[in-house]
C-alpha cells in the first residue's frame, strides 16, 4: 500500500487506488442526500469523503454540525487555496458552525517559517476567507491555549510507532514536527470542545488524509463509551468510564441491565441511546466526540503543469499580482491544445488536460451552461487556444480586481 505524505511537494496520488486502499468513498454516493448540490461536487472537484452521510443528514434535517479546515501560512495565498475556502463558506451557509485555523505551528516546525512571516501570511489567508463571505471563528494555533491543552490530552492516545506507521517518522524526526501533527488533531476536534459535540466535516486535499485517519482514531479512543447495535439489543460498553457514569446509563433506561463494564439495553432506538450516552459522558467530564467526517478535493493544476506551488512562481496566480503579469502567466499556461492549427480544427482540444480550462472550471465560470459551451467549442475545434486563453485572461483579471477590493474591505475583520 502506497503511503501518502502530507509534506511532500509532489503528492502523486492515484485516485482510484486511494479509494480502494484507504476506504475513501466516492462523493457521488451521497449527493442524493443533499437538498442542494454545490458546484464543486457537481463538477467533480470534490471527489471523495469519509462519513459524509452524517453531515448531509444534519444539513437536510437542519441539525447542528461544525465545519473546520486549516491553512499552513508558509507563503502568500493563491488561487489554488480558494476551493477549500469556498467549501467552508458553503457549509456555513448550510447551517454549519465555521472554524478556520491558521497552522502557524506547522509552518514554523515543518517549513521553518518565522513567526513574523506566519502572521503576515496568515492574515492574508484570513482576508481571502472573509472576502468569500466566511462567517465564523478563526484562530492561529500558536495563540490558542485551549487548543494546546486539547492537543496534550489527545497526545495521551498516540505513540511513536503509530506516527511511524502513518507518516514514516523516524528517530531523526524532530519533536516539533510530531507536535504539529497532534496540534492538527486538536484543530479538528476543537469545535466540539469550544461549542458542543456535533458531527464535524473537514474539507481537505487528499494529501491530508493521514491526519484525518489519525484524528478519527483518536476521537474514538477519547470516548468513554461505545454504543453498538447487537442482535435485538443495544450494548453500551465502557472503555474508561467512571463507574458512576455506567450507573447513570443503566438508570436512564427502564429495560437496561448492567454487567461488568457494559450495559445492555432493550426496547430503545440506537440513535436515542447514543444521544443519551453522550450527555452522560459529558456530565462526567468526558469529550463525547463525534468521529469527524471529511471531504477530499482534487488540486487545481498549476499553469506550468504539475502542482500550484508558491515555490514555483510561474505555476500560481496570487491575489496582488499586477495585471500584466497575470495576463502573461495565463497566456503562457499549459493547454490541452494540439501542435498545429490544422490538428486543433480536426481533432479538437483536450480540456481535461488544460490548466486554463480547469481554472475556468474551478473558479472563473460559475454558470454551468457557459462552461459546457467552452468545453464543447474546445473539443469541436471551433476555437483556437490563443483566443480561449485571451478570454480566460480577461476573466481572471476581472475576478482578481473584484476579489482584491473585497479583501481590502475585510481588512478590519482580521483578529489575531
Ligand atoms: N496541514 C494543513 C496543510 O498543510 C493545515 C491544517 C492544520 C489543517 N490544521 C488543519 C487542515 C485542520 C485541515 C484541518 O495545509
Ligand atoms: Fe484549453 Fe481553451 Fe485550448 Fe481547449 S481551446 S485546450 S480549453 S486553451
103 C-alpha vs ligand 1 centroid, how far in Å? Answer: 6
Q: What is the pLDDT of residue 25?
A: 94
Spatial strand order of the sheet with 256-259 comes to 225-229, 234-238, 262-265, 256-259
Residues in the chain: 416
Burial class (CB in 10 A: 0-12, 13-18, 19+), 358: buried
- Cβ atoms of 141 and 183 within 8 Å: the answer is yes
Q: Is the pLDDT of residue 8 over 70?
A: no
Tell me the C-alpha to C-alpha distance, in Å, between residue 206 and each of 30, 48, 77, 210, 404. Answer: 18, 9, 19, 9, 29
Best of 69, 121, 147 to mutate for ligand 1, by most ligand atoms within 8 A of CB? 69
Give 398 Cα–ligand 1 centroid separation in angstroms: 30
Name the nearest CA neighbour of 240 among 219, 261, 256, 258: 261
Q: Which atom of ligand 1 is nearest to the CA of 203?
A: 13
Q: Which position has the grid cell 490558542?
A: 144
Q: What is the pLDDT of residue 13?
A: 57
Whole-number Å distance, alpha carbon 264 to ligand 1 midpoint, is 40
Q: Is residue 114 scored above 90 in pLDDT? A: yes
Q: What percent of the chain has pLDDT over 70?
A: 97
pLDDT for 164-208, tens place per residue? Answer: 999 999 999 999 999 999 999 999 999 999 999 999 999 999 899
Give the ligand whose atoms come closest to the C-alpha of residue 390.
2
Please report, for residues 161, 175, 326, the alpha-carbon distance to residue 168 in angstroms, rounded to integers and kept in the order given.
9, 14, 39
Q: Model confidence at 9, in pLDDT bands (50, 70, 90)?
A: low
Beta-carbon contacts of 28 under 8 Å, excluding residues fewer than 6 positions away, are none
378 lines ligand 2 (CB under 6 A): yes
pLDDT at 307 (0 to 100): 86
Ligand 2 in reach of 361 Cβ (< 6 A): no
**Ligand 2 pocket check for 371: Cβ under 6 Å:** no
Partners of 46 in beta bridges: 297
SS3 336: coil
Q: Which distant-in-sequence residues (6+ apart) come within 8 Å of 85 by Cβ? A: 69, 128, 129, 132, 134
Q: How confident is the model at residue 10 (pLDDT cuts 50, 70, 90)?
A: very low
Asked whether 202 lines ligand 1 (CB < 6 A), one says yes
> Between residues 104 and 14, which one has the greater pLDDT?
104
Q: How many Å apart are CA 356 and CA 352, to the nearest integer? A: 10
Q: How many CB atoms lie within 10 A of CB 36?
A: 10
Q: Ligand 1, atom 12: nearest CA belongs to which residue?
A: 70
The single-letter DSSP state of residue 249 is: H
Task: Assign 3-state DSSP to the chain and report helix, strand, coil percentages, each to 5.
Answer: 55, 15, 35
Q: Mean pLDDT across the stretch 391-411?
A: 96
Please identify which residue in the block is written with the cell numbers 498545429. Answer: 340
Asked if 400 and 121 count as a contact pair (C-beta separation under 8 A), the reply is no
For 383, the grid coordinates are: 476555437
How many beta carbons lie within 10 A of that of residue 411, not counting itself? 12
Amino acid at each position: 500500500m502506497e503511503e501518502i505524505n502530507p509534506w511532500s511537494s509532489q503528492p502523486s496520488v492515484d485516485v482510484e487506488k486511494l479509494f480502494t486502499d484507504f476506504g475513501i468513498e466516492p462523493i457521488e454516493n451521497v449527493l442524493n442526500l443533499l437538498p442542494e448540490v454545490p458546484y464543486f461536487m457537481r463538477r467533480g472537484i470534490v471527489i471523495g469523503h469519509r462519513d459524509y452521510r452524517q453531515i448531509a443528514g444534519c444539513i437536510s434535517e437542519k441539525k447542528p454540525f461544525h465545519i473546520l479546515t486549516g491553512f499552513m501560512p508558509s507563503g502568500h495565498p493563491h488561487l489554488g487555496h480558494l476551493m477549500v475556502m469556498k467549501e467552508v463558506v458553503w457549509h456555513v451557509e448550510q447551517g454549519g458552525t465555521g472554524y478556520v485555523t491558521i497552522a502557524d505551528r506547522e509552518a514554523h516546525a515543518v517549513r521553518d517559517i518565522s513567526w513574523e512571516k506566519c502572521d503576515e501570511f496568515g492574515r492574508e489567508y484570513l482576508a481571502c476567507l472573509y472576502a468569500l463571505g466566511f462567517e465564523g471563528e478563526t484562530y492561529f494555533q500558536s495563540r490558542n491555549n485551549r487548543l494546546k491543552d486539547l492537543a496534550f490530552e489527545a497526545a495521551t492516545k498516540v505513540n511513536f510507532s503509530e506516527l511511524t506507521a502513518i507518516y514514516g517518522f523516524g528517530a531523526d524526526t524532530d519533536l516539533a514536527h510530531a507536535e504539529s501533527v497532534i496540534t492538527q488533531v486538536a484543530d479538528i476536534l476543537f469545535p466540539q470542545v469550544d461549542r458542543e459535540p456535533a458531527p464535524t466535516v473537514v474539507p481537505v486535499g487528499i494529501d491530508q488524509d493521514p491526519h484525518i485517519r489519525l484524528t478519527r482514531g483518536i476521537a474514538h479512543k477519547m470516548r468513554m463509551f461505545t454504543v453498538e447495535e447487537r442482535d435485538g439489543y443495544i450494548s453500551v460498553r465502557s472503555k474508561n468510564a467512571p463507574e458512576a457514569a455506567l450507573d447513570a446509563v443503566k438508570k436512564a433506561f427502564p429495560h437496561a441491565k448492567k454487567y461488568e463494564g457494559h450495559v445492555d439495553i432493550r426496547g430503545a432506538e440506537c440513535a436515542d441511546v447514543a444521544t443519551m450516552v453522550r450527555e452522560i459522558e459529558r456530565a462526567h467530564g468526558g469529550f463525547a466526540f463525534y468521529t469527524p467526517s471529511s471531504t477530499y478535493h482534487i488540486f487545481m493544476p498549476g499553469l506550468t503543469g504539475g502542482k500550484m506551488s508558491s515555490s514555483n512562481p510561474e505555476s500560481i496566480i496570487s491575489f496582488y499580482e499586477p495585471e500584466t503579469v497575470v495576463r502573461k502567466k495565463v497566456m503562457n499556461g499549459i493547454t490541452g491544445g494540439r501542435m498545429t492549427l490544422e490538428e486543433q480544427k480536426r481533432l479538437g482540444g483536450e480540456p481535461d488536460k488544460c490548466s486554463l480550462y480547469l481554472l475556468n472550471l474551478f473558479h472563473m465560470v460559475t454558470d454551468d451552461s457557459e462552461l459546457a459551451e467552452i468545453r464543447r467549442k474546445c473539443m469541436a475545434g471551433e476555437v483556437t487556444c490563443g483566443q480561449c486563453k485571451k478570454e480566460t485572461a480577461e476573466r481572471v483579471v476581472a475576478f482578481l480586481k473584484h476579489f482584491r477590493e473585497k479583501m481590502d474591505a475585510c481588512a478590519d475583520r482580521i483578529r489575531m
